[in-house]
Amino acid sequence: MRTLAGEDRLLFRVVRDGGGWTVTLVVVALAGAAAELALPAVLGLAVDAAVGGDASPRWPVVACALVVILLVTDVLGDLAGGYGAARATARLRRRLLRHLFALDVRAVRRFPVGDLVGRLAGQAADTGQAGTAVALGGIAVLPPLGSVVALFLLEPVLGLTLLAGLAVLTVLMATFVTDASAVITAYQRVLGTIAGRLQEALGGSRTIAAAGTTDAECDRVLAALPQLRDHGRLGWRLLARANARVAAVAPLLQVAVVAVGGYALSVGWLTPGQLVAAVQYAALGAGLGAVLATLNRLVRSRAAARRIAEPLSCPVRPDGDEPLPPGGGHLRLRGVGVHADDRPVLDAVDLDVPAGCTVAVVGRSGAGKSALAAVAGRLYDPDTGAVLLDGVPLTRLDRAALRRAVGHAFDRPVLVGETVHDAIGLGLPERAARPPSTGAPATAAVLAAARAAQVDGVVARLPDGFRTRTVDAPLSGGEAQRLGLARAFHAERLLILDDATSSLDTATEHRITRALTGRDSGRTRLVVTHRVTTAAAADLVAWLEAGRLRALAPHRRLWADPDYRAVFAGDGVPR
């Protein structure tokens, strides 16, 4: 049995997400289609009644009522379709965003940020139209098919004439669907490429300005623009060609039905009113413009759904359900291996960090330091081996328990939150992170973290202190790093710093390092560093080389090795 493709399963779910609005749209559209099919017959009866001398206004009144129904259903259909699409789009965006945040770091990095933004903003909106497209697409074929049935009832020859013409139009539209689907998919893919390059360029705008390569970077970002133009033009040409074919065949079909109907009237097979109805049904059956427009919308929705389904198909790492037993943050890596592009980043690393100990992780660029820091706090799982905290594998830990126990700080932190207070309190329990409603500048937990990171004075100088919006906070690189450190200080057992003091001045780094490595800090510390002073202040140094743990020992013991001293050559240390 053939299973549905990922984009088709997603489309069905989006249709369901439209909820009551999609049901309303179906009901309203069916009522409109029924009124549209009934109107030619009623007009024909009105003509026959007038020709026969019946002055009763019954049939004209019914015809006017049907016109009113068509107007009302048209307005209600637009309203229900719009609300249903908005509801489905909102749910799809929320589902995609939650899925992306649930993926591990390596899975998300497969997609450029700009490309993901394009999928979340543009392709999600197109996919959200699926409910409207499916509902209207299914109902749009009812008037042509109903016209065929009505003409068969009036005169079988008329029905056969219309049916033959509709078969030709159906083949033309099927060709359009096949060709347009490939073109729209290619267009959206190229658009995602441009968005990804733009995001990269904006992130490195200072570097581009300093290098004077603005024109070259513009050319790089827009290099795929000719492809985008070609795909866009081809898409419009396909739509125009399909419309032209329908526009050419439809009048010929109407003329054929009228000619056959005229002959049927002349030989007495039809009454004048039935001929009027037949002409109306011919126009209704040949008017496939609405069907073509709906097909175009459905093709766009399916192509967009394919783009949305791609990141949604990435498996989310499973969370455990075990709590942390009592402990002080004993970290252990057993046979940990991490691969990237079939290249080992970490290779069979065994590392034992006693509870409450400070371990500095050092090594040359590319040695695997950041990968070790990432797996130690389960930003992603190793490809081989296991990581344990106080004897429990991280994969079996409850997510909330893991995030309470482990804190991360990075070399280039991104401040998430509306205000500076929110940015620092990001990892705290809700009560401790909630901004104070009284005159206090910050909650006790946030204030303590800011003081420990030596950033409370910086925050005090901001326009609104802790309530300053993060986008309006004029922070240097070192000040942003200190806010990132403060955010990580909520960790109860393990604090992981990935080169998180690289932008600090020497005096500030010394004070923070002393606070981190002090015996009374009560946590285990894993510190990725390039600085000899930080390594010297640690209890142990984990020396990585080409993805392997070359040594685990105190700094003073390793210092006798010239290869070890060479690791810090860029820190002003002689070889």
CA–CA gap between residue 193 and residue 114 (Å, rounded): 8
Residue 320 placed within a domain: no
The enclosing domain of 300 has a CATH number of 1.20.1560.10
Exposed/middle/buried for residue 479 (C-beta within 10 Å: 0-12, 13-18, 19+): buried
Domain span at residue 129 reads 6-312
Tell me the one-letter amino acid at 92.
Answer: L
The answer as to whether 336 is a domain residue is yes
Give the integer Cα–Cα distance in Å for 150 and 34. 12
21, burial (CB in 10 Å: exposed 0-12, middle 13-18, buried 19+): buried
* The predicted structure's pLDDT at residue 441: 76
What letter would DSSP give residue 187?
H
Same domain, 191 and 70: yes
Q: Please state, in angstroms and rounded to a whole number, the distance separating the CA atoms of residues 311 and 307.
A: 8
Same domain, 282 and 372: no
Who has greater pLDDT, 486 or 200?
Answer: 486
297 and 383 co-located in one domain: no
Query: Could you say which of 312, 345, 377 is where a domain stops?
Result: 312
Q: Judge contact between 340 and 508, C-beta under 8 A.
A: no
CB count within 10 Å of CB 437 equals 6
Rounded Cα gap, residues 294 and 228, in angstroms: 23
Is residue 323 domain-resident? no
For the segment 316-335, what is each residue's pLDDT rounded down to a tens digit? 888 888 888 888 889 999 99
Radius of gyration of the chain (CA): 34
Q: Within this chain, do residues 436 and 495 fall inside the same structural domain, yes or no?
A: yes
What sign does the dihedral 8-10-12-14 (CA atoms) show?
Answer: negative
Average pLDDT estimate for 150-165? 81
Identify whether residues 299 and 393 lie together within a single domain. no
Of the candidates 315, 289, 303, 291, which has an alpha carbon nearest to the alpha carbon of residue 235? 303
Task: Looking at the structure, tell me whether residues 478 and 363 fall in a common domain.
Answer: yes
CA distance 500 to 183: 46
> Which CATH number is 418's domain given?
3.40.50.300
Check if the beta carbon of residue 137 is closer than 8 Å to that of residue 295: yes
30 and 73, same domain (yes or no): yes
Residue range 239-247: mean pLDDT, rounded = 74
Does residue 437 carry a pLDDT above 70? no
Residues 516-534 have pLDDT tens digits of 655 545 789 999 988 888 8
Element (H, E) at 494: strand 494-498
Q: Which residues contact 430 (CB under 8 A, 6 or more apart)?
A: none
Q: In terms of domains, do 459 and 535 share one?
A: yes
pTM for this one?
0.76
Residue 514 lies in a domain: yes
Predicted pLDDT of residue 575: 47
What pLDDT score was predicted for residue 431? Answer: 55
Give me the half-sphere count of Cα atoms (radius 13 Å) on the Cβ side of residue 320: 16
Return the DSSP state at 56. Answer: -
Distance of CA 508 to the CA centre of its chain: 40
User: Closest by alpha carbon to 353, among 334, 371, 337?
Assistant: 334
Asked if residue 10 has pLDDT above 70, the reply is yes
In a domain, 1, yes or no: no
Query: What's the burial of 136, exposed, middle or buried (CB within 10 Å: 0-12/13-18/19+)?
Result: buried
| Confidence check: pLDDT of 4 > 60 | no
Mean pLDDT, residues 351-377:
91
Which of the four pLDDT bands, split at 50, 70 and 90, describes residue 458?
confident
Of 131-135, 171-175, 378-382, the range with the lowest mean pLDDT is 171-175
Q: Do 364 and 306 share a structural domain? A: no
pLDDT at 369 exceeding the cut of 60: yes
Asked whether residue 196 is assigned to any structural domain, the reply reads yes
Nearest to 458 by CA among 435, 436, 481: 481
pLDDT for the residue numbered 192: 79
Provide mean pLDDT across the span 379-392.
Answer: 91
Asked if the model's pLDDT at residue 39 lies above 70, the reply is yes
**Domain final residue pick, 279, 312, 345:** 312
State the total domains in the chain.
2
> How sure is the predictor about 9, in pLDDT bands with cuts at 50, 70 and 90?
confident
Q: What's residue 335's pLDDT?
A: 92
Instruction: Identify the residue with better confidence: 388 or 173.
Output: 388
- Sorting pLDDT into bands at 50, 70 and 90, what band is 558? very high
Q: Which two tokens stand for residue 228?
A: 């985008």
Q: What is the pLDDT of residues 99-133, one digit of tens each?
A: 988 888 888 888 877 788 888 888 888 888 888 88
- Residue 430 has a pLDDT of 60
pLDDT of residue 245: 72
d(CA 331, CA 524): 8
- Residues 199 and 254 both lie in one domain: yes
Phi and psi at 54, nearest 5°, equal -85, 115
Count the neighbouring beta carbons within 10 Å of the beta carbon of residue 256.
Answer: 17
Tell me the backbone φ, ψ of residue 393, rounded to 5 degrees: -60, 140
Asked whether residue 3 carries a pLDDT value surpassing 50, the answer given is no
Amino acid at 551: A
Cα(379)–Cα(494) distance, integer angstroms = 14
- Alpha-helix residue ranges (DSSP H) falling in 18-141: 19-51, 58-102, 105-108, 113-118, 124-128, 130-140
Mean pLDDT of the chain: 82
> Does residue 406 contact residue 331 with C-beta atoms inside 8 Å?
no
| Cα dihedral 494, 500, 501, 504 in deg (nearest 10) | -140
Give the whole-number percent of the chain exceeding pLDDT 90.
16
Same-domain check for residues 210 and 355: no
> Is residue 324 included in any domain, yes or no?
no
Query: What's the pLDDT score for residue 1?
Result: 34
Q: Tell me if 16 is assigned to some domain.
A: yes
Q: Are 171 and 283 found together in one domain?
A: yes
Domain final residue pick, 312, 344, 361: 312
Which stretch of 43-52, 110-119, 171-180, 563-572 has the lowest confidence by average pLDDT?
171-180
Provide the pLDDT confidence category of residue 262 given band limits of 50, 70 and 90.
Answer: confident
pLDDT (0 to 100) of residue 328: 86
pLDDT for residue 346 is more than 60: yes
